[in-house]
Amino acid sequence: MSDINLSYPTDSGAVSVLKNASLTVPPGDTLAITGPSGSGKTSLLLLLSGLQRPTSGEILVGDQRLSEMDSNTLADWRSEHLGIIFQSFHLLPGLTALGNVSLPLEIAGQPNAREQALSMLDSVGLSHRLQHYPEQLSGGEQQRVAIARALVHQPSLLLGDEPTGNLDQETGEKVLSLLFDLHEQSKSTLVLVTHDERVAQRCQHRVRMEGGRLYEA
């Protein structure tokens, strides 16, 4: 991404969220984005995912120029190339662990969705929790389901927004190790927003956001 600006109109004038932000992540590498609350970190992830469009600037993911895609093309691109892990898990309460992980593949029309989901849940150590609903799982187990869901379609870009933020330290360490192990296997590019120094130290590259601007950490 290069020279990204993002602002929102308000009654009292435009509010600037990102200011001339430029960022390059080599394919397959890991990047941590740190900084105080309100500095623009989550907005940056939304831009990288194509869920938000910048006011100005260019975002290139692999060979895909996001500004050239309409909303339908962006949705197709996300379903094929993007995985997102949220702090609050965002699992569907009415679906089992297997159902949550199968869903992205089913939406994409893949005929072997169940088999791929079973394999992915086994990779995160949850083959004994296939038919359990989110409310029946611990926080660490829910986050492992979320990681499995994000990786099941083998995305080239994986985004995480405080993926261990709702977990205690011991569980967070286990989930973090799992995430990086699976990333290494998948060779995806991993970008994490985090307040956790443990997470940032695991990444190959680090940047810091302050007042909507990016700085080398």
- pLDDT, tens digit, for every residue of 24-69? 999 999 999 999 888 889 899 999 999 999 999 999 988 889 988 9
Domain of 128, CATH number, reads 3.40.50.300
For residue 23, count CB atoms less than 10 angstroms from its CB and return exposed for 0-12, middle for 13-18, buried for 19 or more. middle
Let me know: does 121 contact 101? Beta carbons within 8 Å: yes
- pLDDT, tens digit, for every residue of 92-142? 999 999 999 999 999 888 889 999 999 999 999 999 999 999 999 999 999
Region 204-216 average pLDDT: 92
Nearest residue to 30 via CA among 214, 202, 155: 202
**pLDDT at residue number 195:** 87
The Cα–Cα gap between 53 and 55 comes to 7
**pLDDT at residue number 169:** 87
**For the chain, how many structural domains are there in total?**
1
- pLDDT, tens digit, for every residue of 127-182? 999 999 999 999 999 999 999 999 999 999 999 999 888 888 888 888 889 999 99
Could you tell me which residues come within 8 angstroms of residue 121 by beta carbon, excluding any fewer than 6 positions away? 97, 98, 101, 127, 129, 130, 145, 148
Region 194-210 average pLDDT: 91
Let me know: does 62 contact 26? Beta carbons within 8 Å: no
**pLDDT at residue number 44:** 92
Domain span at residue 125 reads: 4-216
**pLDDT at residue number 122:** 94
Residue 203 reports pLDDT greater than 90: yes
Phi then psi for residue 49, to 5 deg, are: -85, -10
**pLDDT at residue number 26:** 92
Q: Which ranges constitute the DSSP H helices of 82-168?
A: 97-107, 113-123, 139-151
Copy the structure tokens of residue 204.
């190959």
Per-residue pLDDT band at 193 (split at 50, 70, 90): very high
Radius of gyration (Cα) for the chain, nearest Å?
Answer: 17
pTM: 0.90
